[in-house]
A and B are shown apart, each in its own frame.
Chain A
Amino acid sequence: MITASVLVLFGIGLTAAVILAVASKLLYVYEDPRIAQVESVLAGANCGGCGFPGCAGAAQGVVEGKAGANVCVIGGDSVAAKVAGIMGLDFSATEKQIAFVDCTGGVRAEEIYQYQGARDCRAQHLLYSGAKMCPEGCLGYGTCVTACQFGAISMGPNGYPVVDPNLCTACGSCAQVCPRGVISIWGMTARITHVNEVNDCLAPCRQRCPGQINIPRYIEQVSRGDYAGALETIRERIPMPLSIGRVCPHPCEGVCRRGNVDEPVGINMIKRFAADWEMNSGTRLPITCAPDTGRKVAVVGGGPAGLSCAYFLRRLGHAPTIFESMPKLGGQLRYGIPEYRLPKAVLDWEIEGIIGLGIDVKFNQFFGKDFSLESLAEDGYEAVFLGIGAWMNLNLRIDNEDAVGVSTGTEFLTKVGLGVDTGIGKKVVVIGGGNTAIDAARTSVRLDADVTLMYRRTRDEMPANMDEIIGADEEGVKYLFLAAPTRIVTDDAGHVTHVEYIQMELGAPDASGRRRPVPIEGSETLIEADTVYTAIGQKPELSCLYDDSGTCTLEETRWRTLGADPDTLQTALPHVFTGGDMHTGPALVITALGEGRKAARSIHQYLNEGAPHVPANMQRDMIDYTMFTHVPDVGLRERSTMPHLIECDERTCSFKEIEGAINEEQVKHETCRCLRCGLTCYNRDLAEGQTCDAEECLKNQ
């Protein structure tokens, strides 16, 4: 009995074993041993974050070449390196990607949808396509919070999701479930190369800024005391927060939504505060760069546009070399903007930081003389950025314009910038009404001259910044409005003695909307002068583009600037890009910085994909429906003022910086004046009579 049962069981077992053994021999299927090896080094969490069904699936995917070494979203670089080792792949550390929430309006969702008791925005979206007024923004339901397997997203105090960059693995499940697409998985490269699109969360200031800085974001970071984070946000768009914080005429503030209530938020003051904070702390914040690609790009011109382009190319991993004609970098920032507005020490500190990322600079190199597009190509530069600025002055087209003592405002400012003798006299006449004219006038005042600024229209039409006009007035610059020079009067030695001008009156408005000045016959008058500076406009010096036979491979526009695609900044030669004043004609520093980034973006695409491109829904003009002027439910809050470091009497004999930074308390106040606008939404104020102390303010934002 026992023997029989043992025999039977043994027999069944043996038969099964034999069948299986034979089967495994006959039915053997080759399986790559690397699959098991790869699986053993993966995290083993079976989280599915990589998009494969579990770690075994991922391992199979890697071996089949469907996924790269960095397949595991949890393991990070160490696991990726091991996988690469098994597979014999090249592994270079990839940049960290994290989820990025580009909306600050969740708390303002006007109606929260309940799906059978659950707040659910997917259902909400399917049924009603969202109940919020803003067509783009976060609904604040937190589906992304539930979707995150790593606990990296939480609902912030302001009703929109906050990502913890340390926990985020960039698996993308939050971005998948978000019905509004306000979450994207972004690495630094993607953030740097992003241009404003009409369905981004663009507050008016963000639409207006030529540098496309994410203004509401850095203001919010400053309000939390995260100055380093704010600078990182700014540096994803411009490399020079210190300089911009000082010289920018802040067009953003002109469209600030709070400007419809009381006065615009002091956006630039906040930027300057953050930038000064870093400089005064003495240590530079680290700036991350993508892994080296080793591809050489020549950047011609070390002004704002060139510096910006080189800086972003470097951050994208390329190897830019700046070719500068002057002995120092900075362009108009150094040689055009006077010391009292932008101290050279500050500029030097900032440029040092940019160059320190690993950018080569060659000084005293003239384009067209020391090198050319052909020689650059021979030296292995795969793309060229031309940003030589607009340094050539327009002529007055009057008699004796070349008399001794007559020179241009930019030449004068350059000489002051270089620290060489300017030959300035005692009675100076500056001709022009722009910022260069004012800079020349205010600089002359500091060199102890009696200065008259001559402009053919009135103060209201002056293109210079209002602050500058008032500042010059305060320092004793005399204005002579409605006056146009007709002749330079010289003595026997050919030196200027007088300027003859004719008085004007304003006629009908011209194409630019300004009233055209019309001369009054017979009103010629003489004004005494031993030095005359003209500053009636500049244009790029394009003669360097022409070869000896007078031909030019690039295109010149009717405004005497370099022609290029307005979006990609690519010129007629596919590997040549341009930007800054050379492309736009004289414009703002921030415009040049913005164009530098755009060009770097195009060059990056050109190097990687062959052709630069922009998204179809790129934002070009201000978005109409966001520009409403009726802003209800916002209380008045007084704007902070920039302190003056030195006062009027002292100012005229000193080149010391005039404007100081606001203090920490003021910056807190200023940040909570910000309405945290989105496209259409903004933070409404609360009960009447509410004051703005920091804590309360933060709570209500």
Chain B
Amino acid sequence: MDYFVLVIAAIFVNNIVLAQYLGNCPFIGTSKESGVAIGMGLAVVFVAAMAAVITWCVQKFLLAPNDLGYLQTIAFILVIAALVQFVELFLKKVIPPLYKSLGIFLPLITTNCAVLGIAIICQREEFTLLETLIFSVASGLGFMLALVVLASIRERLDLARVPISMKGTPLGLIMAGLMSLAFFAFKGMAS
């Protein structure tokens, strides 16, 4: 039951983009078409889960025993960057079809604050390894949900007549804001 609450909280209540405001640049940048949004979302789910698990291990076995908690941010960045590079190489060789659909998004994720944020939240909440895995997958799904919803909205907006100054990113940001307001309805349903 706790895990269920954890998932619901990660996807809806504490949505990584709409409630925590992390990962805004890919959120605006890759939400022009729903096909692209789904690919990006899957890539984030995949990388976030791996990153959270690895960084959990780094924290648990390397930083905490040596009392080096203040190195958390820089160490995590380093680990995630190397991890993404490795995943890219690995997928290209071993699972080319997956690389074809996710590959072009992987470099974007190297410096994605949503992924780093998920890893750090897991440490802040002092999750167990299983909780970390569930939470990171759920958070990635939350990111994907927000991305796909926004992309669908923006696809419709492309058909409408919009003042030129508002076309594209400005209107995208307004839509993101409105979505964020809508997600505030979940506030307080789970912590």
Contact = CB atoms under 8 A, between A and B. Distances in A.
Interface string B66-98: 101011001100110110011001101110000
A16 B78 contact: yes
Nearest to B62: A8
A21 to B, nearest CB: 11
Contacts of B92: 27, 29
Tell me whether chain A's interface is mostly helix, strand or loop, or mixed: helix
A13 interface: yes
B161 interface: yes
A402 B125 CA distance: 120
**Nearest 9 pairs of A and B residues by beta carbon:** A16-B82, A118-B161, A27-B93, A27-B89, A23-B89, A29-B92, A118-B160, A12-B78, A29-B93
Contacts of A118: 159-161
Nearest to B71: A5
13 contacts: A4-B66, A4-B68, A12-B79, A13-B78, A16-B78, A16-B79, A16-B81, A19-B82, A20-B85, A23-B89, A27-B93, A29-B92, A119-B161
Contact of A20 (B89, B93, B160): B89
Given A12-B58, A12-B79, A16-B82, A27 B161 contact: no
A48 to B, nearest CB: 12
Interface of A: 4-5, 8-9, 12-13, 16-17, 19-20, 23-24, 26-29, 115-120, 122-123
A6 to B, nearest CB: 10
Interface string B29-71: 0000000000000000000000000000010001100101011
A118 B62 CA distance: 60
Nearest to A17: B82
Given A5-B68, A5-B71, A27 B94 contact: yes
Given A4-B66, A16-B79, A115-B159, 13 more contacts: A5-B71, A8-B63, A8-B66, A8-B75, A12-B62, A12-B75, A16-B81, A20-B89, A23-B89, A23-B90, A116-B160, A118-B161, A119-B161
Contact of B71 (A9, A23, A115, A122): A9
Contacts of B81: 16
A8 B81 CA distance: 17
Nearest to B83: A16
A7 B163 CA distance: 56
A117 B68 CA distance: 61
A55 to B, nearest CB: 13
A119 B74 CA distance: 53
Interface in B95-111: none
Contacts of B71: 5, 8-9
A221 B60 CA distance: 80
Contacts of B86: 19-20, 23
Nearest to B75: A12
Contacts of B75: 8-9, 12
Nearest to B91: A27
Contacts of A119: 161
A13 B62 CA distance: 13
B82 A20 contact: yes
A20 to B, nearest CB: 6
Contacts of A123: 159
Nearest to B93: A27
Contacts of B63: 8
A27 B89 CA distance: 6
A117 B93 contact: no
Nearest to A23: B89
A119 B92 CA distance: 46
Contacts of A120: 159
B70 to A, nearest CB: 8
B51 to A, nearest CB: 13
A16 B82 CA distance: 6
A27 B78 contact: no
Which of the listed residues B63, B71, B74 has the most CB atoms from chain A within 10 Å of its own CB?
B71
Contacts of A27: 89-90, 92-94
Nearest to B76: A12
A29 B90 CA distance: 10
Contacts of A20: 82, 85-86, 89
Which of the listed residues A13, A24, A27 has the most CB atoms from chain B within 10 Å of its own CB?
A27
A28 to B, nearest CB: 8
Nearest to B94: A27
A9 B63 CA distance: 10
Contacts of B66: 4, 8
Contacts of A122: 159
Nearest to A115: B159
Contacts of B79: 12, 16
